[in-house]
Amino acid sequence: MATLSFSLPFASELNGALRRVPVWSVYLAGVLPLAWILWLLAEGGLGIDPVKEIEQRLGKIGLQLIVAGLAVTPLRRFAGLNLLRFRRAIGVLAFCYVVLHLAAWVVLDMALLWSQALGDIVKRPYLTLGMAAFALLVPLAATSNNWALRRLGGMRWRVLHRLVYPAAVLGGVHYLWLVKAWPPEPFVYLGAILALLALRLGR
C-alpha cells in the first residue's frame, strides 16, 4: 500500500541538529515545569487555592506530554522530523507528571483518606476515567527500559505500548468530563488526541 509522506523543507538539517541533542537534556527540560510550580508555590504565586492549582497544572503537563509522545510518529511520517530518540523520555516524563498529579490529589486534596479517595474514584466518573488512564500507563512505564524490551521482544513490546492510545483518549475524556461550562481547551486536547490516532489508521 502506498504511504503518504511529506518532509519539512529543512527536515534533514533539523534531524542532523537533533541527533546532537542528548536525551538527558529532554529529561532536564521535563523537570523545569515542576521546578516552576515549586517556585510559584514558594512565592505564593499559585492563587487562592494552591492545591487545586498544583493538581491542575500537573495533570495538564501530563496530558501535554502524552500528546507530544503521540505526535512523534506522525511528525516523522508527515514532516520527516525524527524525534524517535526522545520518545521514551517524553513517555517517562508524562508518566511521572501523571503520578505527581495523582499523588497531589491523594496527599494534598484527600489528605491520605484512602477509603474516601477510593469511594470518590468509584462515584465520580471523571476520576474513574483518570484512574483507568493511569492504570493503562503503569505497564508502559514498567516496560520502558531495554531489559523489558529484550524480555518481551520487539513485537510484543510494540503491541503492549499501544495501550497509550486508549490511555490518551481516557485522559482527554477525563479532562473534558471534569470541566464546567464547556471551555474550548479540553476539546482541543481531545481533538488533537483523536486526530493523532486517526493519522495512524491509514498505515
- Name the residues that contact ligand HEM, by CB under 6 A: 52, 55-56, 59-60, 62-63, 66, 98, 101-102, 105, 121, 127, 130-131, 133-134, 137, 167, 171, 174-175, 178
C-alpha to C-alpha distance for 12 and 7, rounded to whole angstroms: 9
Q: Kindly tell me which of 52 and 88 has the beta carbon lying closer to ligand HEM.
A: 52
Report, in Å, the least distance between residue 62 CB and ligand HEM. 4
C-alpha grid cell, residue 135: 492504570
Report, in Å, the least distance between residue 37 CB and ligand HEM. 12
Q: Kindly tell me which of 81 and 136 has the beta carbon lying closer to ligand HEM.
A: 136
Report, in Å, the least distance between residue 28 CB and ligand HEM. 22
Spatial CB neighbours of 30, under 8 Å, sequence gap ≥ 6 = 65, 89, 90, 93, 96
Q: Kindly tell me which of 81 and 193 has the beta carbon lying closer to ligand HEM.
A: 193
C-alpha to C-alpha distance for 100 and 39, rounded to whole angstroms: 16
Q: Kindly tell me which of 21 and 118 has the beta carbon lying closer to ligand HEM.
A: 118
Report, in Å, the least distance between residue 154 CB and ligand HEM. 25
Q: Could you tell me the CA-to-CA distances from 125 to 32, 115, 150 in Å, in that order?
A: 31, 17, 37
* Encoded amino acid at 93, one letter: L
Q: Kindly tell me which of 30 and 62 has the beta carbon lying closer to ligand HEM.
A: 62
Spatial CB neighbours of 166, under 8 Å, sequence gap ≥ 6 = 133, 136
Report, in Å, the least distance between residue 185 CB and ligand HEM. 7
For residues 82 and 114, the answer to whether their CB atoms sit within 8 Å is: no
For residues 64 and 165, the answer to whether their CB atoms sit within 8 Å is: no
